[in-house]
Every structure is written in C-alpha cells, then in structure tokens.
Amino acid sequence: MDEERFAKRGFFVAGASGIEVEIEFLNPDYKLSDVKADATTGDKGHLLLFRIDPVPADRPAFNVRIGHDNPKAVDVDLIGKAAEREAFARQAPGYVGHKTQSLNTEPPSFKLNIDVPSVGLVFSGTLTMKGLGLGVRLFDELHMEGKLDAVPIRGNDKPTEP
C-alpha cells in the first residue's frame, strides 16, 4: 500500500495479541516464519501477523497481515514478481488467497487458502487472534492507542475503587 495514502487514514492497527495459526496443509517447499503470539505495527504502518517463506528462494513468499482498509480483516500479499503480485492481489483466475474468509467466531478466526499457478496449493489453515489494538492519528507524529477488546467507561458510569 502507498505509504502516503496510509498516513492519511484516521485509524491504524497498533498490534495484535493471542495469535495462533492452525495448519491444515503446508506445501513442503514452504515454512512459516515470524509467527509470534503478539505482533506490533512496523515502521511503515503494516501489522504483519506472520510470513510463509519458500525453502528454495525461487518461489514467491507471502505476508499475512491485517487489512489496510478494514482493521477486522486479514489479507495476504504475494512477495515476488510484479505480474504475479498484481494477479494475486486482484484474484485473477488460478490465484486464491489475497482476501481471507472471516469465520465469525469469538475470538476472531480467519480461514486462509493460498494457491498460485506457479506453485499450486501453498497453505491452508486457520488464523485466530484474541486481541487487536487500534490507534487514532491526531497529528502526523502524534497518535493514541487502545485495545479493541477493551470495554469503554461511559461518562455516567461510576467506577468503584478497589
């Protein structure tokens, strides 16, 4: 995504917690990388959840990340040749997996199926996240962050002291 366009958004995803990946199928020429229980947004504003990297370097890699336009969606980006990247992003015939399927569960889970003509089936599995932290841009360099699964206190609520 264009960094300038991303910087103009009023919200950003600051982090995710309780990340779990359940593998149904992983192509033997691939491995999962950067799988952590918690992830934070990188310098460019992307929240990478994990990667799927080729064991032989001549095949495309995949970044699994929070959606740019929807913080409650998970998208997959193909990392490789420009023509294949574009075909995957627009889900051309034979390219499956850029948009994941929300399973509408609590905690949020997403079904991932990644298939490209140059490799065949790369990955099939489920991603679950227990928490998602959102932030709001106040100015270019100033922002606030909070947890999406937190319960806000309303003005008329009277919290009690312990």
Reported as a single tens digit per residue, the pLDDT across 67-100 is 777 778 899 999 999 999 999 999 999 999 999 9
So what's the pLDDT on residue 101?
A: 92
**CA 155 to CA 108: how far, in whole Å?**
29
**CA 41 to CA 133: how far, in whole Å?**
10
The domain in which residue 72 lies consists of 3-147
The reply to whether 152 falls in a domain is no
Look up residue 137 and give its amino acid: R
The reply to whether 38 falls in a domain is yes
Helix (H, G, I), strand (E, B) or coil at 124: strand
Percent of residues, the chain, with pLDDT higher than 70: 72
The reply to whether 157 falls in a domain is no
**CA 132 to CA 13: how far, in whole Å?**
7
How many separate domains does the chain show? Answer: 1
Signed CA dihedral, 87, 62, 101, 22: sign only: positive
Of 50, 41, 46, whose CA–CA distance to 23 is shortest?
50
Walking along the chain (162 residues) 10 residues at a time, the average pLDDT comes out as 49 78 97 87 77 92 86 91 96 95 90 96 95 61 47 43 44
Residues in contact with 59: Cβ distance below 8 Å, sequence separation at least 6, in sequence order? 29, 30, 80, 118, 119
The reply to whether 154 falls in a domain is no
The reply to whether 79 falls in a domain is yes
Signed CA dihedral, 34, 41, 25, 54: sign only: negative
Strands (E), the chain: 11-17, 20-26, 30-33, 39-40, 48-54, 61-66, 74-79, 101-102, 109-116, 120-128, 131-137, 143-147
Place of tokens 């998602």: 132
The reply to whether 65 falls in a domain is yes
The reply to whether 158 falls in a domain is no
